[in-house]
Amino acid sequence: MPKATYIDTPPGALARYWPWLGPLTGTIGVAAVVYYSSFLFLLPRGTPIRPMVWAHFVHLATVWTAVVAIPLSISTLVVSWKLSWRRRVSLSVTGIVVGLLPSPVARFMLHAAMAICGLTLKE
């Protein structure tokens, strides 16, 4: 009976991709916010908007991304012990930063749409 190696075992296979799960989750959250916010650029010029559903979606996407991406990124320091210390820290910091990024990206897209398309916020 052959002995299982590091690559053959399921925990070993997961450990190979574990460092990338935090940044990947953050990237998915940012992509969802960008995709959902792109409708702002399709509105007619000078339209008064009250983006409450958009703000709710952005809040949920930001919270979900932060709750999933930040613990995954912090656990990268412990789980991926075969990587160098520099790579572990850089992947952890990248995952934490990208995990907190959906809200600022959405705010930037709202202000860009207001500046480019002339949208106004209705009170």
Domain count of the chain?
1
Domain that holds residue 71: 18-121
Residue 31 pLDDT: 96
Residue 49 DSSP SS3 = strand
Residue 94 in any domain: the answer is yes
62 occurs within a structural domain: yes
Residue 64 resides in a domain: yes
Place of tokens 């559903």: 53
What integer pLDDT is reported at residue 2 of this predicted model?
57
| Any domain includes 98 | yes
What tens-digit pLDDT sequence spans the chain (123 residues)?
Answer: 555 555 544 556 666 777 888 899 999 999 999 999 999 999 898 889 888 999 999 999 999 999 999 998 988 887 767 778 888 888 899 999 999 999 999 999 999 999 998 888 887
User: pTM of the predicted model, to two decimals?
Assistant: 0.81
Q: Is residue 12 part of a domain?
A: no
Answer whether residue 9 is part of any domain: no
Q: Is residue 7 part of a domain?
A: no
Output the pLDDT for position 28: 95
The Cα 113–Cα 53 span in angstroms is 16
* Residue 1 lies inside a defined structural domain of this protein: no
The whole-angstrom separation of Cα 56 and Cα 47 is 20
The rounded distance, in Å, linking the Cα atoms of 118 and 104 is 20
